[in-house]
Amino acid sequence: MPSKQSNKAIFLDRDGVINVDVGYVAAVDDFKFIDGVIEALIKAKQKGYLLVVITNQSGIARGYFSKEHFLTLTQWMDWSLADRGVDLDGIYYCPHHETKGIGDYKLACNCRKPKPGMLLDAIGELGIDVTQSILIGDKISDLQAGITAGVKSNYLVRTGKEITEEGRALATAVFDDLASIIDML
């Protein structure tokens, strides 16, 4: 009998991978797709990958913007991609921060990367086979979440945070951008 977990996926961090990271992006006016991302995502879909966004959003926890602002921006991003032929299969976010959060958002959770909660939720809900899947992020916490969740390949891109030696050591490989990774698949 075939395994329930049969879908291959690309787990994508948002800021620094999909869009330019200007720090706590919460408004449409601040959101700019990184050059080549939309075309790369189209290619990934053509290659049979599910596309799953996994993003920490501590700006919610810190009170910089509301959950509603984040959801409005996320809906706009999703529609913008769909209008260009890219359907995301899942969007998972963590609004918590253990030390910098305010009120109910000050919480030690299992969803904030480097913990694997968002990935594990997606894996279960979308029937993802981690042995055929990859994670693309721009920082160590992205890689740590992917590794802990059992994702086969965990890549860093240079379009976000500065790549550290620790990041290089943890990453399966480091690429200039998302498009370079998709071309390699």
Per-residue pLDDT of the chain (185 residues; tens, 9 = 90+): 344 679 999 999 999 999 999 999 999 999 999 999 999 999 999 999 999 999 999 999 999 999 999 999 999 999 999 999 999 999 999 999 999 999 999 999 999 999 999 999 999 999 999 999 999 999 999 999 999 999 999 999 999 999 999 999 999 999 999 999 999 99
Would you say residue 4 lies in a domain?
Answer: no
Structural domain harbouring 32: 9-184
Which CATH number goes with the domain that contains 102?
3.40.50.1000
Residue (of 162, 157, 111) closest to 14 by Cα position: 157
Would you say residue 23 lies in a domain?
Answer: yes
How many domains, the chain? Answer: 1
Would you say residue 3 lies in a domain?
Answer: no
Would you say residue 42 lies in a domain?
Answer: yes
Would you say residue 28 lies in a domain?
Answer: yes
The Cα diameter of the chain in Å comes to 49
Q: Report pTM.
A: 0.96
Would you say residue 166 lies in a domain?
Answer: yes
Would you say residue 115 lies in a domain?
Answer: yes
Would you say residue 1 lies in a domain?
Answer: no
d(CA 16, CA 57): 13
Which sequence positions are flagged as catalytic?
13, 15
